[in-house]
Amino acid sequence: MTALTYSDYLNIDALLSLQETRSPDTASRAVIHAEHFFMVTHQSCELWLKQVTMDLEAAADAMTPPCDDGDEELALEFLQRSAELLRVLHDQVVALEKLPLRHFAEFRPLLDGASGGQSAQFRLLAQLLGGRREGRLYQAFERLAKHKGMKVAEVCALGPRAGILNRIAESLLDIANGYWRWKVTHLALVSRMLGNRKGTGGSAGVDFLARRVVLPFPQLRQLRGEVHETLAAERAATGRGR
């Protein structure tokens, strides 16, 4: 029996054959390499999105009652990993800043109607995180807090004294901030590359993307903000009483 190899386990041959650039053979090597770079970056993003959405769905499942301490710790692991992977996605966008504009302009017409806005995995991520309304992930956290006999406002007020619930809340905020930073960086990149031109999918381009940049978990952030305001008022009152 032949031993399993690294290449076989990861299907390396198939993976490395997926970059089918559309630049003609008459294009310069620099343009072909630029399109290859563009394609690899977006394919990598889709792979990381697959992992992030898988982990966030698993976190939501683990927070859904009935659950025990082991489930809660597992949910936290999934959330912390997702927060880190959103940093990876952000860095993918930063890497794209090394795509020369003159080369992008040459192969961009070959994209036809293809657009990142058509990504099914990105839409799934948006559903999990929510935007101006709370998504599945936050709703699962609310149910978990209720299962533990608390409201999210109490978790925020207690801070570290809320134990695992506080750590989950902090991870949710890390995810929200990572998502926001990723989307803002992407918006800046598109603005630099396209200016006021329309997107390849027929959208309004930068204006369309700007409207979709939202910071998830608005209720959690509001509750946290109210706690900070209360603490600041208490410190001020204590200072006046001295």
For the segment 147-175, what is each residue's pLDDT rounded down to a tens digit? 999 999 999 999 999 999 999 999 999 99
Tell me how far apart the alpha carbons of residues 207 and 186 are, in angstroms, rounded to a whole number.
Answer: 13
pLDDT at 130: 92
What does the DSSP 8-state code read for residue 4? P
CB-based contacts of 230, cutoff 8 Å, min separation 6: 157
Report the greatest alpha carbon distance in the chain: 81
**If we measure between CA atoms, which residue out of 184, 202, 168 comes closest to residue 82?**
168
Task: Look up residue 11 and give its DSSP letter.
Answer: T
The least confident of 31-45, 78-92, 182-196 is 182-196
**Residue 199 confidence (pLDDT):** 56
Q: Which of the four pLDDT bands, split at 50, 70 and 90, describes residue 84?
A: very high
Q: Is the pLDDT of residue 238 over 90?
A: no
pLDDT at site 113: 85
Return d(Cα 57, Cα 48) in angstroms, integer.
Answer: 14
* Long-range contact pairs involving 149-153 (C-beta distance under 8 Å, separation at least 24): 152/219, 152/220, 152/223, 153/223, 153/226
Residue 68 DSSP SS3 = coil
Q: Let me know the angle formed at the C-alpha of 228 by 225 and 233, rounded to the nearest 5 degrees.
A: 125
What pTM did the predictor assign?
0.89
Task: Give CA separation, 179 vs 86, 173, 207, 237, in Å.
Answer: 6, 10, 19, 37
